[in-house]
Amino acid sequence: MVELLEAEGLRLVEVAPPVVPAEARTAMDRVWDEAVLANPALFDGPVAVCAGLSRQAPDDLLISWSRVTYRYFVLRRVPGATAVRSLFVSVVQPTEDGRLLVGRMSSATAAPGRWQFPGGSVEPPTGDEPLDEYALRRHAAVELAEETGLDVPAGDLTRCLVTHCEDGQVGVHYLAPPVPAALLEERFMALVAAETARGRAPELDRIALVGSPAELPDLTGPHVTYLEPVVRWANRPVGS
């Protein structure tokens, strides 16, 4: 189950990181080391996780977040441990003919073969910079450029939805201006060629343009849980 939330305002507040008991931490470190052996591209850098989501007023949402590192995500694979909840951004990028860009995660990522919108986990700010809506929009624009090769100014992105999955994951989704489908394909092919020339695997190994939820089953492999609900939302009749 995925809850789709629309809000006028969005506020983010940092709270203390989750407490992980010693036994669970030992197991977490062991599972992380095994994951890195299987995929050396994994990086234990800083990441923001969701500590809570609530409505502060009829038109405002509050997201509480904490600073951890990527290894905390493997707590999902530690029996009896309390898993951390993802906080991520994504970009809903339409084409001029109304289709939506989706991408498949490459084998170098933590979720190979998974279909999703361009985006990724939110990283905490450095120094005295706040984690606010501007920072989220900027991060979403960076993810879009890094994964598809398409440069869209952060100021051109408009928050359209916040998704709340039943496992507690929270996603902040931004709508980008429509662009020609040929431009998306051209930029993505150029990005893949450039990454390959550098000896690096791209984050997405394939893109597709989806016109409706009915086309999603044609995308072989796992899908993020929010994909179908957001595609359905984007295809809703105007004014509904």
| pLDDT (0 to 100) of residue 239 | 56
The verdict on residue 29 lying in a domain is: yes
Residue with tokens 């084409």: 95
Tell me the residue range of the domain where 120 lies.
2-234
Could you tell me the pTM of the whole model?
0.94
* 3-class SS of residue 167: coil
* 3-class SS of residue 94: strand
Is residue 61 a contact partner of residue 9, using CB atoms and an 8 Å limit?
yes
Could you tell me the CATH number of the domain that includes residue 51? 3.90.79.10
The verdict on residue 46 lying in a domain is: yes
The verdict on residue 17 lying in a domain is: yes
Residues 6+ positions from 110 with CB-CB distance below 8 Å:
35, 39, 42, 70, 73
Q: List the one residue out of 170, 174, 151 whose CA is nearest residue 161.
A: 174
- Gap between the Cα atoms of 67 and 131, Å rounded: 11
Task: Give the chain's domain count.
Answer: 1
- CB count, 10 Å around CB of 104? 22
- CB count, 10 Å around CB of 127? 4
The verdict on residue 239 lying in a domain is: no
| pLDDT (0 to 100) of residue 238 | 60
Q: What are the structure tokens assigned to 69, written together? A: 């590192």
The verdict on residue 230 lying in a domain is: yes
Task: Give the residues of the chain that fall short of pLDDT 70.
Answer: 238-240
Residue with tokens 């951390």: 84
